[in-house]
Amino acid sequence: MGHRERIVFQAPDGSIAIVNPVEPIQVPESVEAWLDRVAARAVNASIPRRDPEKETQAEYRARIDRLKASGEILAGYARVAVRDVDEFPKSRRFRDLWRHIGGHVYTDEVLAREKLLAELRDARDAALLASDHEKTKLDEIGTEKELAALADYRQSLRDLPAVVEAELAGYSLDQLERYQPLLPTP
């Protein structure tokens, strides 16, 4: 094994973790034995240690359970493959959406669209919240024209996810990776 191989672990939810092993094969160790040894160390290294002065045993177990559930600990992951670095998608934009099926690592396009829409909704929600102050001010001292312009702006923000969802439906993965949504301006 050279320095280009990565070990792919698959979580129960289908997501993957990738380990870049730094330990060489020990002669006369087989590749399978080496993988087992490196995989075990990766799992153990992902488990934080308990500081008895800061948490009880019960608190520590609860923290470990939360970390396992969030995927921050590799426990529950299954080693599925060893892949060369060139076999992974080039773009890292959707790294958290990589999957390993049929011997290949790929980006889940459906989840990529969902992630872009969630990011857009977060930005849209922040813009709506920011415009709440302006609306309150205009309700007291604004003109009809200013109120109408703000209402149009806020409606365009509310409509944005549906418009973008339809737009993204026809996009390829390359287009999704380059997509940068533009929010309306007031």
Residue 28 Cα distances to 23, 82, 139, angstroms: 14, 20, 79
Which residues have CB under 8 Å from 114's CB, separation 6+?
A: none
Percentage of the chain lying above the pLDDT 90 cut? 42
Other Cβ atoms within 10 Å of 112 Cβ, number: 20
In this prediction, residues 86-112 reach a mean pLDDT of: 91
Mean pLDDT of 116-123: 96
Question: Looking at residue 58, what is its pLDDT?
Answer: 84
Among residues 94, 96, 90, the alpha carbon closest in space to that of 11 is found at 96
Q: What local confidence, expressed as pLDDT, does residue 70 receive?
A: 65
Q: Looking at the predicted structure, is the pLDDT value of residue 90 above 80?
A: yes
